[in-house]
Amino acid sequence: MASIRPFPHDTCKQCATPLSHALAPGPCGHCLIHPPAQFETHAIYRYQGAVRDAILAWKLQGEDAGVRWLVESASPYLKGLLHKHDTLIPIPMPLSRMRQHGQHHSADLCRLMAKKVACHWDWHILRRQGEQMRQSALPAKQRRKNLRKAFMLNQDYWAKQHDTRGKLWLVDDIITTGSTMYFAAKALRATGLPVHVLSLSKTIQGD
């Protein structure tokens, strides 16, 4: 479909901001001044057009056919990026929102992706604490403050279940300002391992 556009190949390795071919893989100027908590960031699609429509239909109406198709189409990319020993970790949702919607979208996304590459996924490793406003309802400057203490590592569970043979991947459906990933990755770094980020889509300024 013409309105489905893959994310640019030339990006900053750490935050996935598009760069010119000469400057990739960065780091970009922002990462030099404000280093992110994650080691690297990958996005599969640009958050626009049919990709945006599919994600919104999934999150607002519970219609997952479009997202399933996007993951299926991205199978070659996922198989080249992920390893069988890697662990996919969903961005935790507030409990009240899970009860309201009866769904954990990033966990469902992890399950779909893990099935394609036969790797592990685990939603117990990272916890959400407290109740925060929706990020989409806040301006960029308030998003970081909103999530500053939102995530924590489940230390006891990690000590029993961790597998250091592969990478740890934080997974979400959309990256906008990157605030959610920053604080989730910062909490996950308590494992002592580098944190990698994978998102189904990412916004690009100007789209």
Say if 2 falls within a structural domain: no
Average pLDDT over residues 10-21: 96
94 has a pLDDT exceeding 70: no
Say if 188 falls within a structural domain: yes
31 has a pLDDT exceeding 80: yes
E-assigned strand segments in the chain: 40-46, 87-90, 120-121, 126-128, 151-153, 168-175, 195-202
Question: Over the chain, what is the mean pLDDT?
Answer: 87
CA 108 to chain centre: 12
Of the chain, the end-to-end C-alpha distance in Å amounts to: 17
The CATH number assigned to the domain holding 185 equals: 3.40.50
Question: So what's the pLDDT on residue 52?
Answer: 96
Of 32-46, 52-66, 92-106, minimum mean pLDDT range: 92-106
Say if 10 falls within a structural domain: no
Token pair belonging to 113: 């992706």
| Distance from C-alpha of 139 to C-alpha of 8, rounded to nearest angstrom | 26
Question: So what's the pLDDT on residue 207?
Answer: 64
Question: So what's the pLDDT on residue 138?
Answer: 52
Question: So what's the pLDDT on residue 116?
Answer: 94
Express each pLDDT in 128-178 by its tens digit.
886 544 545 555 555 556 677 789 999 999 988 776 789 999 999 999 989
Token pair belonging to 207: 């789209």
Say if 20 falls within a structural domain: no
With bands split at pLDDT 50, 70 and 90, how would you rate the model's confidence at 194?
very high
Average pLDDT over residues 111-123: 95
Say if 19 falls within a structural domain: no
Question: So what's the pLDDT on residue 104?
Answer: 84
Torsion-angle region of 77 (φ positive above 0: left; ψ -120 to 50: alpha; else: beta)? alpha
Query: Cis (ω within 30 of 0) for the bond into 8?
Result: no
Say if 118 falls within a structural domain: yes
The whole model's pTM is what? 0.88
The residue among 161, 133, 154, 158 whose CA lies nearest residue 145 is 133
Express each pLDDT in 46-79 by its tens digit.
999 999 999 999 988 889 999 999 999 999 999 9
Say if 5 falls within a structural domain: no
Token pair belonging to 190: 């308590």
* Placement of tokens 């299926």 in the chain: 72
The domain containing residue 60 runs over which residues?
29-202
115 has a pLDDT exceeding 70: yes
Domains identified in the chain, total number: 1
Say if 184 falls within a structural domain: yes
β-bridge partners, 152: 127
| Distance from C-alpha of 189 to C-alpha of 38, rounded to nearest angstrom | 8
β-bridge partners, 45: 6, 201
